[in-house]
Structure 1
């Protein structure tokens, strides 16, 4: 069996990606903080013909995240594709001059420790398969820092560097790391940021395995 694990899956982008990969024969591990939300989304996907299971984990809790990924692999098969796309907390987005060292703990746990934990858990399985894809989804502040959203700007930048290093290091092992930058909000009906369009883009990043950083739409200055 071939499995995609979507960390931070919700009814918008996560559901769209699950459907897109499901059409290609992937089983789907839906991972979110609340088990009831994960189960509800998995049930909805199942009604649409996608094999899906729900698992709960807070990405700031390494033990919970590794346990969820272990359970997903045991239930659905080795994880070939990992998508890391949880939505940041609003309290990560303070202005820079109001952001203390303590305020950066949450964003760094969320955007650096979380992905590093997840990648470390799925990478051995990908190496055994001889293939894999690591998909990182970030907002525009990852590459265009915003002083009014200091926490996410700093942590997303660090996540970007981590993902870039994975891209550069793992290519020879058949494992592709790619980042999709989504400037602005994900908006149904928008020609660039509609969830279904973004899901097609993420499928393409997995399928074509070309390049590291991609943009859903151009950044505005």
Structure 2
């Protein structure tokens, strides 16, 4: 059995993706910072018939993140799909004139070095199995800079560029890298941005392997 690892898993999009991929036979590794929230989410998923386990790690702690992914592969099965979608810190959402060097460094560590570290950990297994999917979930500032949220705009743009380069570099190895850009609030009332709808889009990105970027509503 193969596994999807969802980094930044929560009760909204993470849970919806876990259920969508779980219905397709995937085991689900949920990675987040809070043990209590993880335990509740795992309990709900198991009750719905999804094989799931939770792993505690902060995406800015590379050792913990690597350990979580290694444990998931050992306990659940090889990681065939990696989703990177943690919620950015409020410190990354300040106007550009109020954003410090330290804020930018933290945002890049969160949105560039975090996914790069996770991808580096699962890529050898994907190469060994001859298949894999890497899913990046970003807001609109990944494509259009927004001076009101300068840290995220800067780091999401870099993450987007990194993913696009990986998309081109890994395609010949049957490893697909896809980005879902969500230009709105997840679960904010618009059915296009409902967690279940977004989970369906992410499943399609994995299953159909189209272009690098998919924009909700675009």
TM tier, shorter chain? over 0.9
Residue 94 of structure 1 is matched in structure 2 by 94
Residue 152 of structure 1 is matched in structure 2 by 152
TM-score (norm 1): 0.97
Residue 128 of structure 2 is matched in structure 1 by 128
SS at match of 1:42: helix
After TM superposition, the structure 1 stretch with the greater mean CA deviation from structure 2, 29-38 or 51-60, is 29-38
SS at match of 1:192: helix
The Cα shift of 1:105 comes to: 1.3
Residue 32 of structure 1 is matched in structure 2 by 32
- Looking at structure 2, the residues matched to 136 and 112 of structure 1 have their Cα atoms a distance apart, in angstroms, of 11
Matches within 5 A, 1:66-105: 66-105=66-105
Q: Pairwise CA RMSD of aligned residues?
A: 0.9
- Looking at structure 1, the residues matched to 42 and 163 of structure 2 have their Cα atoms a distance apart, in angstroms, of 28
- Looking at structure 2, the residues matched to 14 and 60 of structure 1 have their Cα atoms a distance apart, in angstroms, of 19
- Looking at structure 1, the residues matched to 26 and 9 of structure 2 have their Cα atoms a distance apart, in angstroms, of 15
Q: Number of matched residues?
A: 218
Is 1:114–2:98 an aligned residue pair?
no
Going from structure 1 to structure 2, the CA distance change for 1:149 and 1:206 (only over 3 Å counts) comes to same
Residue 2 of structure 2 is matched in structure 1 by 2
The Cα shift of 1:191 comes to: 2.2
Residue 55 of structure 2 is matched in structure 1 by 55
- Looking at structure 2, the residues matched to 31 and 112 of structure 1 have their Cα atoms a distance apart, in angstroms, of 17
Q: Could you list the runs of 4 or more consecutive aligned residues of structure 1 that deviate by over 3 angstroms after TM superposition?
A: none
The Cα shift of 1:43 comes to: 1.2
The Cα shift of 1:189 comes to: 4.7
SS at match of 2:53: strand
- Looking at structure 2, the residues matched to 66 and 206 of structure 1 have their Cα atoms a distance apart, in angstroms, of 23
- Looking at structure 2, the residues matched to 153 and 194 of structure 1 have their Cα atoms a distance apart, in angstroms, of 23
Write out per-residue CA displacement over residues 1-40 of structure 1, whole angstroms, 9 at most, x where no aligned residue: 1100000010000000000000000000011111221121
Write out per-residue CA displacement over residues 122-170 of structure 1, whole angstroms, 9 at most, x where no aligned residue: 0000001100000000001110111110000000000001100110000
Residue 18 of structure 2 is matched in structure 1 by 18
Residue 201 of structure 1 is matched in structure 2 by 201
Residue 185 of structure 1 is matched in structure 2 by 185
